[in-house]
Amino acid sequence: MDTAVADVARWRFSTDALPERERGAALDAVYGRNTVVAYEALPDAPVYAGFTQRRLQGLVLLTGALEAVRVERTRRHLADGVVDLCLSVNLSGGRRTVWLGRGREVILHPGDAMLMSCAEPTTVRPMTPQERGRFFSLRLPRAALAPLVTNLDDAVLRLIPASTCALKLLANYVGMLGDDEALATPDLRRLVVTQIYDLAALAIGATGDAAAVAEGRGVRAARLRAIKADIAERLAHDDLTVAAVASRQRISESYVRKLFESEGSSFSECVLGERLIRAHRVLTDPRFAGRSIASVAFDAGFGDVSYFNRSFRRRFGATPSEIRAEAVRKN
């Protein structure tokens, strides 16, 4: 276990460094009878397992990939008394068959999801064992979802198709939590957990007032994160405009502007800030010490070096050359 943030338990497990013949035994030893679910290697197929588990207050997030592995919560496991709900999302890599304690069988195609209950036995296995599949799962307290989803028990074991808008937003949101900066403070962690509750509830089927609240909190946050990720990926592009981003995100330009206004900022301020941060990162990296200031500016998306110099000094209190010189001195 490592703990990048003081009160966020983070576990990483991977079979990469293990001989193939030892991988099944390692899985059983780490995730066997004394865990919420068991991971069992399927016979006659190369085994792979690699995932990261983050445990926050009110949420367990598991992200990773599996190949030739069955995930099972048996009647023996039920003795632990855990009754949380688990939203499992099949991100890619083929179909997953879910055998459920109620005698049902459901197939999850890439992008599909399903809400399962830890109070019931469940088995999940790949239909094609030799195909590696990426996934994430959220273990959520029943009490957190119950106020948001009417008839919550009816939603358990119901397929959530990949086309569900809230599910896509949830998958994007979780995908952007890889860096621990999003979990850096207790307030941020509480906010992330609340927003995940909102998005999960909408994907599952929140209705009425609860849906309106979740739309206002979780969806807005997920949209804004997606927009900022879009901006970060295209900083050096000429088409980094509100119109282009809105088109890629399939929302209106006015909605993009409103999202930034809700946090006291603007689209242009975000773009400028991201470009300055990228330039600062390059200028303080000794690997790029030979690059000219103009080259750094252009690669960060600035078309005018004078404007870059003024903006940089206003933001960091020193010129690009001074920041570089200070970085060289420290190294």
The CA-atom distances, in angstroms, between 33 and each of 29, 72, 74, 79 are 8, 10, 9, 11
134: three-class secondary structure by DSSP: strand
Domain span at residue 211 reads: 2-233
Task: Supply the CATH number for residue 153's domain.
Answer: 2.60.120.280
Read off the pLDDT band of 101 (50, 70, 90): low
Q: What average pLDDT does range 307-331 have in this prediction?
A: 90
Could you tell me if residue 67 is inside a domain? yes
Q: Are strands 122-126 and 96-100 parallel, antiparallel or unpaired?
A: antiparallel
Q: What average pLDDT does range 212-226 have in this prediction?
A: 77
- pLDDT tens across 235-272, in order? 988 779 999 999 988 889 998 998 898 888 999 999 99
User: What's the CA angle centered on 188, arms 185 and 192, to 5 degrees?
Assistant: 140
Could you tell me if residue 280 is inside a domain? no
Could you tell me if residue 204 is inside a domain? yes
As a whole number, the mean pLDDT across the chain is 86
Helices (H), the chain: 20-30, 142-145, 152-155, 165-175, 186-204, 208-214, 220-233, 242-249, 253-261, 267-283, 293-299, 305-316, 320-330
Could you tell me if residue 286 is inside a domain? no
pLDDT of 92 over the 80 cut: yes
pLDDT of 4 over the 50 cut: no
- pLDDT tens across 263-291, in order? 889 999 999 999 999 999 999 998 888 89
Read off the pLDDT band of 200 (50, 70, 90): very high
Number of domains in the chain: 1
Could you tell me if residue 301 is inside a domain? no
pLDDT of 7 over the 60 cut: no
